[in-house]
Structure 1
Amino acid sequence: MAERRGIAERVRFRDIIYELQTTQGYECLQACLVCPDGEVFSFASGYARTTVKEKKKNSPRTFPITIDTTFRLGTSSSLFVTAAIMRLITKNQLSLHSTVDRWFPNLPRDITIESLLTHQSGLTDVLTHPLVTLLSEMAPSHKWNARHVVKRLLSKKQRFPAFAGVAYSATNFLLLALIVEAISGKTYREYLVSERIINPKFVSFLDNGAEVDPRLIGGIDETAVTGPTRVKPRFSQRDSLAWATGAGVASATTMALWVREMATTDRFFDRHLFYEMEQIPDAPRIGPAGNGLGTFATGLSAGRMCGKPVYGHCGQTRGYESLAVYCPEEGYSIALNANSSRELCSLRPIAQAIVSEMIPMHRRPF
C-alpha cells in the first residue's frame, strides 16, 4: 500500500511539473520538493540549450533537461554568502554589529554586518551602476575586480543612513563575500569548500578562471529586456563581478536539500542563529523590493506560501529564474529553476501550486 501510494505521488508530482512547464511558457522547468519526513520528489521538464557548441553548425544544441542539469541561480547564490557569514559568527570571528569600515575605510562607519545582511546599508547597487551596465554591454568579456569596483564606485555618500530604510542592493552581499575572504585568508569559493558549506561537485560559480559546469544549460530568454545600448546580453556579462551574489550554478535538487540543511542542522552554523535570520527589519521600504518573495529578513528573503512564512531566496538573471525556500512551520523545502520565463518573479506562485497539492497529498493517511 505504501509503495503504491509513493508511486502515485511521484506520478502526480511529475504531471504537475509538466503541466506548469507547458502552460506557463517555460522552455524548461526543474523542481524539487523535500517533504517534512525527508522524502524527496524531483522532476525536470522541457528542453534547454547546452553551453557546449556544435563544431559544424556553431550553434547551441538542444537537449532534454534532467534533475541533474544545472542552472544559473542568480541572486539565490547569496544564500551561500549568508551561510559563510553565519559560520564566521559561530566561530566568534565576526558579529552582526561589526562595522565594515575596518575592511573598507572609504565606507561610512554606521554600516554594519547586520545592515548588509538586511539590505539596510543604503549603499548603491554597483551591478546596476550606469558605468558597470554600459561597460558590461559593450565589453561583456571584461573581467571585473570586485574590490576595485567597490573602491572606485562606492563612497561615503549613501542613498539613506544605515537602518533608516530597506532597499535591495547586490553590493551588500558583494561586500560580505569580500569580508569572508579578508577574515579567512582564502578566496570565497575556497572558504565555502573548506568549511563544507558547499560540495564543489554540486555547486559552482562562474567567476574569474572558473571552469564551466558541463551540465549548465545555455540559451537565453529571447524576450529578455535589453540595456541602454540595445545589445542582447551575453552569458559572461558581469559574472566576474557578481560571482558571490549572482553567479552560482546548481540544480533544484541540490538547492532544496541545501536550504533544508541550512535551516534544520548545525552543519553550517549554530542552529539558533536561524531564529535571528528569520527576523524582518522594522524599517520602511525604499525603492523596489528586489526579490520575488516579498521582503527581506537577515541574510534571507522572506515571504508567505500557502499562508505560512517561508525563508530562502529568489534569483533572477536575464532569461533565468530560481527559487529555494524552507518553511519552518510545515517543515518542507522547495527549489525551482526555470529558463525563458515570460515575466519576472514567476516562480513563487508555481512553487505555491506545487506545495498546495503535494504536501496535503503526502500527509494523507493510507
Structure 2
Amino acid sequence: MKNKFVQILVTGILVASLPACKQRPDNDAARAKGTGAPTIASTLHFADEHTTATYETAINKFFKNGLFRSGFNGSYLVAKEGKIIAEGYNGFLDPVTKTDSIGEHDAFHLASVSKTFTGMAVLKLWEEGKIGLDDDLSKYFDKFPYPGTTVKMLLSHRSGLPNYTNYLEHYNWDKKKLVTNLDVLTSLYTMHPPLQFPTGKRFSYCNTNYALLALLIEKVSGKAYHVYLEETFFKPLGMTDTYVFSLDKAETAMPSFEWNNRRYGLEFMDLVYGDKNIYSTVRDMLKWDEGLRNGNLFRQSTLDSAFQGYSYEKAGARNYGLGWRLTEVENGKKIVYHNGWWHGNNTVFIRLLEEKATIIVLGNKYNRGIYRSKQLCDIFGDYRQSNKTFQELENESSNGLAAGGSQ
C-alpha cells in the first residue's frame, strides 16, 4: 500500500472529493494498468448522504487500521437495505506476478460460505415438500451405515459423522486420486470411520455433512448440484459471476495463496462441493442477501427455521442454524453469518436482519484479519463485537471526522 490509505467509496456524490480514490474503469482496462491499488465502483444502488455520514468513519477506520495494514488481497462491500455504503477492491489476482488487479467481476472461492447456498437449497426442497427434515438418510442413501442420522442433523452439524477432511488421509486415501462427493459417501460404507459422538447428541462442525447434502439435492431434484443452484438461485437473482467449481475450471478460477505468497495448486479434496467450492463476488453476494430478504425466494417460516439455533447444550452466544452460524447476543440481538477458510481463501458473509445490513469480505491470500470484520456489526447496532459501543461510533461520525482523516 506504500503507506497510503485509499479511501472507500461511500456514494457516487462523494467520489470527486476523495482524491486517493478513482472510479472503477472497465475491468480489462484496470487490469492492463496492473496497479493493484484499491479501486471503487460507481454502479448499483448506493446509500444516501445521511446514511453514509452515520457509518463511513467507522468503516474507513476498520479498513485503514486493520485489513489494509495486514496486506489484505481481496474485495469488500458493506450495505444497508440493499444499498451500498462502502465497496472496494485491493491487490491482485496473483500477488506474485502483480499483473491483474482485482475487479468487481473476479469471483472468489467462498469456502464454507458456500454452505449457506447448500443449506438453503435443501430448505427450498423441504418447502416444496420434496424432503423431510426429520427423514433418516437411509431414505435417500440405501442402508446408510450410521442409523438415526437425519437431514436436519446434517444441516445443523449434529450428526456426529466423521469429517472427510480428516479421516480420508488417516485411512490412507491415495492423494493422487481426486476425491468426489460420491467418494465421500462411499467411504462411509467401506472405511466406516467411527462417529465423533452418538448421533444427534451435540454440535460439531463437519464438512462431511454438507458434502452429503449436495448429493441429497442432486438425488431429490434430479439435477446436478450446480444446475440446481443456477436455476434456483444464481440466474433468478442475476448472480452472473457466481458458479460452482469443477475440474474444467481449474485453469481459470481465481487461485489462492498463503500469507507468504505461496500459491496453492489443485489438491486431492478440492473437487468436493456443497461444503465449499462456490465462487462469487461481493456484488453477487449482495444479490444473495437481497434474495433472502425480499421474500421472493422463501416463505418467512422457512427463513425462521434457518436462522434459529439448534445447539444449546453448551452456554454461550455462538450457535448454528440450518446452514448459518449465529451469534445470539445477551441483549436479544442476533448476527446471522458464515465464515469460510479453504487453502488461502478467507471469507466473511454477515447479515444483520434487524437493521437489514450486510457485511461481505472476500480474500484469496490467507489473512485471519478478515474475520475481524464482525466488529463492523457495532456500527449498525449494539452487537458487542468491538471495544466501542454503537453510540461512540455514531458520535465519532457526527463530530465530522473526515473519511480517512486523523483521529
TM bucket normalised to smaller:
0.7 to 0.9
Q: Distance in 2 between matches of 1:260 and 1:26?
A: 30
2:322 partner letter: T
Change (3 A) 1:221 1:238: farther
The residue that corresponds to 1:109 in the other structure is 147
* Paired residues of 1:21 and 1:45 also in contact (CA < 8 A): no
* CA deviation after TM superposition for structure 1 residue 70, in Å: 1.9
Change (3 A) 1:115 1:39: same
Q: Distance in 1 between matches of 2:330 and 2:91?
A: 30
TM-score w.r.t. length of structure 1? 0.78
* CA deviation after TM superposition for structure 1 residue 143, in Å: 2.9
* Residue 35 (1) aligns with residue 80 (2): yes
Q: Distance in 2 between matches of 1:182 and 1:14?
A: 46
Q: Distance in 2 between matches of 1:133 and 1:19?
A: 45
* Paired residues of 1:123 and 1:172 also in contact (CA < 8 A): yes
Change (3 A) 1:218 1:152: closer
* CA deviation after TM superposition for structure 1 residue 15, in Å: 6.5
Larger Rg: 2
SS of 1:196's equivalent in the other structure is helix
| CA shift digits 1:69-126 (9 cap, x unpaired) | 3211111111110111011011110121111112222332311111111100000011
1:22 partner letter: F
The residue that corresponds to 1:239 in the other structure is 270
Task: Extract unaligned runs of 5+ from structure 2.
Answer: 1-11, 15-47, 382-389, 399-407
Q: Distance in 1 between matches of 2:296 and 2:284?
A: 16
The residue that corresponds to 2:195 in the other structure is 158
The residue that corresponds to 1:94 in the other structure is 131
* Residue 303 (1) aligns with residue 327 (2): yes
The residue that corresponds to 2:119 in the other structure is 82
* CA deviation after TM superposition for structure 1 residue 259, in Å: 2.7
2:372 partner letter: P
* CA deviation after TM superposition for structure 1 residue 191, in Å: 0.8
Change (3 A) 1:302 1:134: farther
Change (3 A) 1:271 1:73: same
SS of 2:124's equivalent in the other structure is helix
* CA deviation after TM superposition for structure 1 residue 265, in Å: 3.1
* Residue 337 (1) aligns with residue 362 (2): yes
1:70 corresponds to which of 107, 117, 132: 107
Identity of aligned residues (%): 15
1:28 partner letter: N
* CA deviation after TM superposition for structure 1 residue 213, in Å: 5.1
The residue that corresponds to 1:251 in the other structure is 281
The residue that corresponds to 2:63 in the other structure is 17
* Paired residues of 1:300 and 1:311 also in contact (CA < 8 A): yes
Change (3 A) 1:306 1:111: closer
* CA deviation after TM superposition for structure 1 residue 249, in Å: 0.8
* Paired residues of 1:85 and 1:180 also in contact (CA < 8 A): yes
1:143 corresponds to which of 144, 157, 178: 178
Task: Extract unaligned runs of 5+ from structure 1.
Answer: 52-58, 225-231
* Paired residues of 2:257 and 2:343 also in contact (CA < 8 A): no
Change (3 A) 1:83 1:195: same
Superposed counterparts of 1:112-127, under 5 Å: 112-127=150-165
Change (3 A) 1:185 1:103: same
Q: Distance in 2 between matches of 1:133 and 1:313?
A: 30
SS of 1:48's equivalent in the other structure is coil
* Paired residues of 1:32 and 1:336 also in contact (CA < 8 A): yes
* CA deviation after TM superposition for structure 1 residue 327, in Å: 1.2
* CA deviation after TM superposition for structure 1 residue 312, in Å: 2.6
Change (3 A) 1:305 1:223: farther
* Residue 352 (1) aligns with residue 389 (2): no
Q: Which has the higher strand share?
A: 1
Q: Distance in 2 between matches of 1:266 and 1:132?
A: 45
Q: Distance in 1 between matches of 2:336 and 2:348?
A: 10
- Superposition RMSD on alpha carbons, in Å? 3.6
Q: Distance in 1 between matches of 2:308 and 2:149?
A: 18
The residue that corresponds to 2:345 in the other structure is 320
TM-score w.r.t. length of structure 2? 0.71
* CA deviation after TM superposition for structure 1 residue 160, in Å: 1.7
* CA deviation after TM superposition for structure 1 residue 236, in Å: 4.5
| CA shift digits 1:289-314 (9 cap, x unpaired) | 9xxx9431222111258973111311
* Paired residues of 1:106 and 1:151 also in contact (CA < 8 A): no
